[in-house]
Amino acid sequence: MEPDVLPRPPEPPLRDVRVLDLSRLLPGPFCTLILADLGAQVDKVEDPHVGDYLRLFPPHRNGLGGRFCALNRSKRSLCLDLKQPAGREALLRLLPRYQVLVEGFRPGVLDRLGLGPKDLLARHPSLVICSLSGYGQDGPYRDRAGHDINYLALSGVLGLSGADPKDPPHPLPVQLADVGGGALWAAVGILAALLAARRTGCGRHLDVSLCEGALSFLLPDFGQLDAGAPDPVRGQELLTGGAACYGVYRTACGRYLAVGALEPKFWLAFNRALGRAADPAELLAPPAEQARIRQEIQAILGQRSRDEWEQVFAEVDACVEPVLSLQEVRQHPLHQARGLFFSTGGPDPVPQVRTPLTPRDPTATPPPRLGEHSEQILAEGGFSPAEIEALRQSGVVR
């Protein structure tokens, strides 16, 4: 009998795609991290003086901000001053080598530099350009400053956060608009546009608004609203604290359990494990009854520690899990078994976290030093050593 032969790992799907990343901070770099994990060569274009601001934010690891290290594995850094004509000319000379350009400037900034989407597509019709902005490339808010909390506020997401309608909405613990509303939608749009460009030879300009991206997560809620449902109330809906079967409960040790026993079979199994008599009709009980049921469950769960309850529910199919801190997440057996945490290669490995699209056996390179690959990238673009040195002497390149 022939021994089993493991199939060769497939080539990365974007191994022949080059991305020029003009963005900084969170949304753009998270998007290009996804593309890099899929095999694309991502080259960051950074200001020669500061570069991506996340480099500076503490705490630091070997001189690089922790957030920067997490978002910029397997990328290269090219320092190029786009405010100088020679810097813009260098970018245009490099551009034919790339299929994708990602940018996160205020709308109109690249146009004023002569590097706007129309200018770039006129030179390179197959280029995919993705612009990430808070409120979109047009409309009355195109020039308005904003942060994640502002985009969530105008999208309707923030108004639904929090446990009590009498209290103010509570800021979310993750940058949902930046990452979910911006980076993920941008990555999806870029992948689709690349397919179209290969089929037709025509690129396009993607206008990704972080506010609209966050709003898109409320599609089911707007469907409910359009079907006649009342405006949802913070902390009182089925999935936001209004039902005893779906929420967070405190245990004896001061830590918490997350309960998601929405379906009758899970609700009954959950209550059996508690030693509490239950009826599936409780799932549809009115608000006052839900509050009473919640108090009963809280009184029972408050009698044991989180770890003790975790052992109880390990053998019960009831949708109950411990609420973990970030340090606990690293050690959890599920994430250990799935290989979510790994390190880059090199003499000084940098801890990293897999996304759902990161290969299960990742071979990532460390995040780049500012301008670490400037000479290499320019040489690949056809610049001679003398030209590179001239750009360096003029302060255009670092």
| Co-location of 162 and 78 in the same domain | yes
- pLDDT for 382: 97
What is the rounded CA–CA span in Å between residue 107 and residue 141?
10
Residue 124 annotated among the catalytic residues of the structure: no
* Residue 104 counted as domain residue: yes
- pLDDT for 5: 55
Among candidate residues 138, 147, 170, 279, the one labeled active-site is 147
Residue 320, H or E segment: strand 320-322
Q: Residues in the chain with pLDDT < 50?
A: 1
CATH number of the domain at 285, please.
Answer: 3.30.1540.10
pTM: predicted TM-score of the whole model, two decimal places: 0.94
* Residue 221 counted as domain residue: no
- pLDDT for 96: 96
- pLDDT for 4: 54
| Co-location of 132 and 169 in the same domain | yes
Domain that holds residue 267: 256-322
- pLDDT for 1: 45
* Residue 351 counted as domain residue: yes
- pLDDT for 47: 94
Among candidate residues 37, 47, 178, 207, the one labeled active-site is 178
* Residue 33 counted as domain residue: yes
Angle, CA 143 vertex, CA 138 and CA 147 arms, to 5°:
110
- pLDDT for 6: 54
Pairs from 309-315 (Cβ < 8 Å, separation ≥ 24): 309/251, 309/257, 310/257, 312/273, 313/257, 313/273
Residue 60 annotated among the catalytic residues of the structure: no
Half-sphere exposure in the Cβ direction for 21 (13 Å, CA): 34
Give residue 207's identity as a one-letter amino acid code. D
| Co-location of 79 and 123 in the same domain | yes
- pLDDT for 328: 97
Residue 37 — left, alpha, or beta (φ > 0 → left; ψ -120 to 50 → alpha)?
Answer: alpha
